[in-house]
Chain A
Amino acid sequence: MTLNNSQLGFNISKATPTTSTTNTNTTSTPPSSAPSIEPSHSPVGGGVGVKSSFFQNILSKSSTTVSATTEAPSTPTETVAGSQGDPATPVYDFNGSLAKPTANSSSVGVKSDLIGLFDKFDISSSEQKQPESNSQQLSDGLDHAEEHTLDESKSVSEESKEKSHLEKEDDGNSTQDTFGAEQSSKDESQQIETVEKNVAPIITIPRTRTEAKTEDVDFELEDSRESELIQQEESEESGPKEKNQEAQDVQGLSLPSTEESRNIKRKDLIDITGDVEEQSSEVEEFVLKVEETRPSINRVDSNRPRHDSHISSKINQSKVDPEEQYQQSHRPFDFQHFLAQLRRKSADPVVRYIRSFLVNFSRQGHTFTADQRINILVEFKKFMNDKFTLYEPFASMDEIDLENSREGLEKLIMNRLHIHCFPPEVSRNGGYLPEPYVKDLDDDNNFATTLEKFSWVNGTHLDIEVDELSTLMKGEVSFMDYGIAELNKINKYRAPRDKIICILNACKIIFSYLKVSNQETNADAFIPLLILIIIKAKTDHLISNIHYIEGYRGEEWLLHGETSYYLSSLQAAIGFIQNLGFDELTITEEEYNAHMEAWDAEEKQRAIIRGANKDIRQPQPQRIPLPTEQSVNQQSLSPSSVLLSSAEMFTKSISNFLSPSPSEQMRIESELPAQLREPVVLNHHELIQPQTPQPSEVDSERLKEVYNNVKEIFPTIDTSILKDLVYINRGDIDKCIDACLQFMGE
């Protein structure tokens, strides 16, 4: 024991210096958050009993911290003596696993670090089993052994005592309103019992040991959270985030849902145990979904009034669907439940494994190759699976609850490690990009280009009745827009599971549409719609997202079931778009070629614009006052609209020369561009897209003015052709210029 202790002390002191680099950040957090929290908590009047018992805990915790272990040894002394030798080992090892990687982190040897990381886990796992066999004393014994560690570590740094003291207060407080308030009374009493005996050391240990280490992570988290918050405020789109806020409000119970309180809440959570609590805010998102959606699910299932009755669509959307999905393909996943389980004292070793893993990965993650990152996570999940069999409440779980725990674990760690494993995120943070990540990002870019190139593709090209798709309403949004919105949410979530849900939601909307429009809900009908939605959604980083899901979603879920089917469908659809060509579309050769030539011209034009002739497009809006609104609009649109309009123009100009009745032509064409251009806003296109006025609305004065302008710019083009061009483009100066450029190119 003495030997162990001395080693312990050594390890810890080894760990502390390494981590102390980040301590500057660290120390600032607790003081700043603590005062802000305290006032906010006093009104949280929860149950008095609960409160007082937690208060006791806090007291007992702090007392043990300050005056070493006065209380704990008194109760199960024999246990300590009996099991000391054995349980001391895991504790030591755990320290080792904590300390060594930290020490290693400075060294560059990726492989050895990687192996080391897991060796340590494995070693501790094998040794951990010894005490396990020892009996129920295990937990007590463990705790006491840990107490000793604690003492050692305590004596190592005075400073950390204070910190842990502070943090414990936070801990107690927030436990009170997050955990204490939500837990069932049974859990509470259980909790309290154990807490009174053992908590102090248990909670303290991770504190002192990981405190410094977790903190830098905490800061990252805080940042990301804050940016999320900004997003929340900025866009209504963020269904998930909305829920996040709500979740926190709920968590705070009596707290007003003001921005301030939310911030407090947030800090509060982060400060508690870093990783776990950070997740808990995320967690609630699901709980809330579960609670709020249950009623609506039935509604949806029974006679899908989702489409008929419009219930403030945005919020309804993502709440209904994920939950529906859970119920259907798995049982409902309850992340909060998992976190509650983690908070049990008996689960403390599990928490510490997770914490140390997260800390180590956050530190060393950037030195790993892409495959290593995936493998490490796979290995860690396996490792934790084994651990689940050792510690309550996981040890006595049935397969179903265990699956919930595995899901929870994956979500928990991936929420944290997303920034290290999702290429766009890594790139955004300026981190080192392993080769496959670079490729993913390239693929994303290429795919984005492909989507631009084919943004003119509409339902008819894939034999879809596209009119209904974009006119049939689900609430205030068309099915098309709805599906697009759902798919685009994929970038708002971090955990693979959540990203999958977004994909499933988009698919679900397609099926809703098929049902509502009385079509068969089979793959023949589904696939083309999925392809169309992908083309129109132009989701950022879709390929990175899919690779991320494939890499980090547990295989047990990835390779089976509905998820697997829809993920494969998405991949298949992406593959289809990547290889899209004339043969794959229902289109005349002329039209196709026109689009392609327009695309090429657009490419050329972009190159020109990038180069010397920037003035061709830019000065136009200034010189011509009339179509300003349109010009602005046009400018802000994606390049595809330029491409489209020129493509459109091209076909038109051809047909126009052939056809003697331009007015009829106009009538037909005027419907076309709306579909082509922005199906996203199809229902509102009159409002949002003033670019496609009816021919009758086109002011002849304006046409003349535009014509004169264009004539100035393109003096070489035959005036009659120019007239036609201006007329066809309904006086849209930008389109006319594009068309003329196109014409010149020929």
Chain B
Amino acid sequence: MSFPNPATSVKLVLLGEAAVGKSSLVLRFVSNDFQENKEPTIGAAFLTQKCTIGERTIKYEIWDTAGQERFASLAPMYYRNAQAAIVVYDITKPASFIKARHWVKELHEQASKDITIALVGNKYDLVEDDTEEESLRKVSVEEGKGLAEEEGLLFFETSAKTSYNVNDVFIGIGSKIPEAASAGPNQIHQTNNDGRIDLTSDPNNRPRAAGDCAC
């Protein structure tokens, strides 16, 4: 490799119930970018995006999965060899959170041991202007955070619509992925990374993400 800073490929799989905004999230992430970091793909089911985090350039290869329940059994075909996963739920739909819990469990059981998982509660825009009495929110921040802490996940609440926190998800994953993981299938488990949740992601006091991501 002649490049001074070669992009390391990271296979990232998207899991979550249908219509929680998995692909919108990724499209937002991918479309916020300059043309040069983009590779055209034949459909949004597979997208790539380069992202520079500090010294490293990560090339995400983002694998979308079908969220319909009937296709749940297909997921293992997608998350095998994945170095990262984003499990998405809709904060206005409790069922989608239950499903997310299942995905997390399954990933821990079936996917690579050192997979980096981010739990993402999407559609934050729907609850942004909520009042105390009347809220569309059905899954509290605490519930999400709680699950993330239990399972050692990154946690974010995002809005694909307003792009709130979207890049942070990918930056967070990129920072957490062990250096060796991107080298290929023979990943070396990074022992000192015990994957606590990203506390800075609290939507209430989080400043807009640092701009070191090229995306």
**Bound form: Cα–Cα A73–B27 in Å:** 66
- Which of chain A's residues 541-563 have a Cβ closer than 8 Å to chain B? 559-562
> For B64, what are the chain A residues with a Cβ–Cβ distance below 8 Å?
522-524
Q: Given A301-B40, A560-B61, decide whether A526 and B78 contact each other with a Cβ distance below 8 A.
A: no
**Bound form: Cα–Cα A734–B168 in Å:** 64
**Bound form: Cα–Cα A568–B39 in Å:** 20
Q: Given A524-B18, A560-B9, decide whether A507 and B73 contact each other with a Cβ distance below 8 A.
A: no
Q: Scoring A residues 565 to 586 as 1 if CB is less than 8 Å from chain B, else 0, what string do you get?
A: 1101101110110010001110
Residue A520 interfacial (CB < 8 Å): yes
Q: Given A524-B68, A572-B77, A575-B73, decide whether A511 and B9 contact each other with a Cβ distance below 8 A.
A: no
Of the candidates A399, A507, A523, A568, which one forms a contact with B42 in the assembled complex, judged by CB atoms under 8 Å apart?
A507
Q: Scoring B residues 27 to 57 as 1 if CB is less than 8 Å from chain A, else 0, what string do you get?
A: 0000000000001111111101000000000
A575 engages B43 (CB within 8 Å): no
B66 engages A566 (CB within 8 Å): no
**Bound form: Cα–Cα A504–B40 in Å:** 14
Q: Given A559-B185, A575-B73, A576-B71, decide whether A520 and B40 contact each other with a Cβ distance below 8 A.
A: no
A565 engages B77 (CB within 8 Å): no
Q: State the total of A-B contacts with C-beta under 8 angstroms.
A: 100
> For A562, what are the chain B residues with a Cβ–Cβ distance below 8 Å?
41-42, 46, 48
Residue B158 interfacial (CB < 8 Å): no
Residue B165 interfacial (CB < 8 Å): no
Of the candidates B11, B23, B81, which one forms a contact with A523 in the assembled complex, judged by CB atoms under 8 Å apart?
B23
Q: Given A328-B40, A329-B39, A522-B44, decide whether A527 and B71 contact each other with a Cβ distance below 8 A.
A: yes
Residue B2 interfacial (CB < 8 Å): yes
CB of B84, distance to nearest CB on chain A (Å)? 14
**Bound form: Cα–Cα A399–B11 in Å:** 22
Interface residue count for A (Cβ, 8 Å)?
Answer: 41
Of the candidates A325, A327, A524, which one forms a contact with B67 in the assembled complex, judged by CB atoms under 8 Å apart?
A524
> For A528, what are the chain B residues with a Cβ–Cβ distance below 8 Å?
66, 68, 71
Residue B63 interfacial (CB < 8 Å): yes
**Bound form: Cα–Cα A633–B73 in Å:** 39
**Bound form: Cα–Cα A31–B74 in Å:** 58
**Bound form: Cα–Cα A559–B63 in Å:** 13
Residue from B41, B73, B74 with most neighbouring chain A CB atoms (10 Å): B74
A508 engages B42 (CB within 8 Å): yes
B68 engages A571 (CB within 8 Å): no
A329 engages B77 (CB within 8 Å): no
Residue B167 interfacial (CB < 8 Å): no
A524 engages B46 (CB within 8 Å): no
Residue A390 interfacial (CB < 8 Å): no
Residue A514 interfacial (CB < 8 Å): yes
Q: Given A560-B61, A575-B74, decide whether A522 and B41 contact each other with a Cβ distance below 8 A.
A: no
Residue A521 interfacial (CB < 8 Å): yes
B45 engages A521 (CB within 8 Å): yes
A565 engages B63 (CB within 8 Å): yes
Residue A260 interfacial (CB < 8 Å): no
Q: Scoring B residues 58 to 83 as 1 if CB is less than 8 Å from chain A, else 0, what string do you get?
A: 00010111111011011001100100
Residue on A nearest B14 in the bound complex, by CB: A523
Q: Given A559-B81, A559-B185, A572-B77, decide whether A527 and B46 contact each other with a Cβ distance below 8 A.
A: no
CB of B70, distance to nearest CB on chain A (Å)? 5
A522 engages B74 (CB within 8 Å): no
Residue on B nearest A327 in the bound complex, by CB: B40
Of the candidates A568, A569, A579, A585, which one forms a contact with B73 in the assembled complex, judged by CB atoms under 8 Å apart?
A579
> For B14, what are the chain A residues with a Cβ–Cβ distance below 8 Å?
523
Residue B210 interfacial (CB < 8 Å): no
Q: Given A520-B23, A559-B185, A579-B73, decide whether A328 and B39 contact each other with a Cβ distance below 8 A.
A: yes
A527 engages B73 (CB within 8 Å): no
Of the candidates B39, B42, B63, B70, which one forms a contact with A511 in the assembled complex, judged by CB atoms under 8 Å apart?
B42
Residue A291 interfacial (CB < 8 Å): no
Of the candidates B9, B41, B44, B65, which one forms a contact with A329 in the assembled complex, judged by CB atoms under 8 Å apart?
B41
**Bound form: Cα–Cα A329–B47 in Å:** 11
Residue A417 interfacial (CB < 8 Å): no
> For B73, what are the chain A residues with a Cβ–Cβ distance below 8 Å?
575-576, 579
A325 engages B42 (CB within 8 Å): yes
Q: Scoring B residues 165 to 208 as 1 if CB is less than 8 Å from chain A, else 0, what string do you get?
A: 00000000000000000000100000000000000000000000
**Bound form: Cα–Cα A329–B61 in Å:** 12
Residue on A nearest B22 in the bound complex, by CB: A522
A399 engages B68 (CB within 8 Å): no
**Bound form: Cα–Cα A571–B80 in Å:** 13
CB of A524, distance to nearest CB on chain B (Å)? 5
B18 engages A521 (CB within 8 Å): no
Residue from A463, A504, A508, A565 with most neighbouring chain B CB atoms (10 Å): A565
Q: Scoring A residues 125 to 160 as 1 if CB is less than 8 Å from chain B, else 0, what string do you get?
A: 000000000000000000000000000000000000
B71 engages A522 (CB within 8 Å): no
CB of B169, distance to nearest CB on chain A (Å)? 17
> For B65, what are the chain A residues with a Cβ–Cβ distance below 8 Å?
523
> For A569, what are the chain B residues with a Cβ–Cβ distance below 8 Å?
45, 77
Q: Given A559-B81, A565-B63, A576-B71, decide whether A504 and B42 contact each other with a Cβ distance below 8 A.
A: yes
A575 engages B77 (CB within 8 Å): yes
B43 engages A511 (CB within 8 Å): yes
Residue A510 interfacial (CB < 8 Å): yes
B39 engages A565 (CB within 8 Å): no
CB of A519, distance to nearest CB on chain B (Å)? 11
**Bound form: Cα–Cα A522–B65 in Å:** 8
Residue A398 interfacial (CB < 8 Å): yes
Q: Scoring A residues 496 to 519 as 1 if CB is less than 8 Å from chain B, else 0, what string do you get?
A: 000000001001101100100000
**Bound form: Cα–Cα A514–B70 in Å:** 20
Of the candidates A399, A463, A566, A571, which one forms a contact with B46 in the assembled complex, judged by CB atoms under 8 Å apart?
A566
> For A585, what are the chain B residues with a Cβ–Cβ distance below 8 Å?
70
Residue on A nearest B61 in the bound complex, by CB: A561
Q: Scoring B residues 112 to 147 as 1 if CB is less than 8 Å from chain A, else 0, what string do you get?
A: 000000000000000000000000000000000000
CB of B99, distance to nearest CB on chain A (Å)? 14
Residue on A nearest B77 in the bound complex, by CB: A572
**Bound form: Cα–Cα A662–B23 in Å:** 46
Residue from A463, A522, A569, A575 with most neighbouring chain B CB atoms (10 Å): A522
> For A324, what are the chain B residues with a Cβ–Cβ distance below 8 Å?
42
**Bound form: Cα–Cα A724–B202 in Å:** 69
B78 engages A524 (CB within 8 Å): no
**Bound form: Cα–Cα A398–B1 in Å:** 9
A522 engages B45 (CB within 8 Å): yes
> For B2, what are the chain A residues with a Cβ–Cβ distance below 8 Å?
398-399
B77 engages A521 (CB within 8 Å): no
> For B78, what are the chain A residues with a Cβ–Cβ distance below 8 Å?
568, 572
A576 engages B22 (CB within 8 Å): no
A584 engages B46 (CB within 8 Å): no
Q: Given A329-B41, A522-B64, A524-B68, decide whether A565 and B74 contact each other with a Cβ distance below 8 A.
A: no
CB of A620, distance to nearest CB on chain B (Å)? 41
**Bound form: Cα–Cα A522–B46 in Å:** 8
B45 engages A526 (CB within 8 Å): yes
**Bound form: Cα–Cα A325–B70 in Å:** 30
CB of B39, distance to nearest CB on chain A (Å)? 7
Q: Given A572-B77, A575-B73, decide whether A524 and B23 contact each other with a Cβ distance below 8 A.
A: yes
CB of A482, distance to nearest CB on chain B (Å)? 14
A507 engages B43 (CB within 8 Å): yes
B74 engages A527 (CB within 8 Å): yes
Q: What would 9 A/B residue contacts be, using CB atoms closer than 8 Å?
A: A398-B2, A522-B22, A523-B22, A527-B66, A559-B81, A568-B63, A572-B74, A572-B77, A576-B74
Residues of A within 8 A of B (CB): 301, 324-325, 327-329, 398-399, 462-463, 504, 507-508, 510-511, 514, 520-524, 526-528, 559-562, 565-566, 568-569, 571-573, 575-576, 579, 583-585
Given A562-B41, A573-B74, A579-B73, 18 more contacts at CB 8 Å? A328-B40, A328-B42, A329-B41, A462-B70, A514-B43, A521-B45, A522-B44, A523-B23, A524-B66, A524-B67, A528-B66, A561-B48, A568-B77, A568-B78, A572-B71, A572-B77, A575-B74, A584-B70
- Which 6 pairs from chain A and chain B are nearest by CB? A522-B23, A511-B43, A523-B64, A572-B74, A527-B66, A572-B77
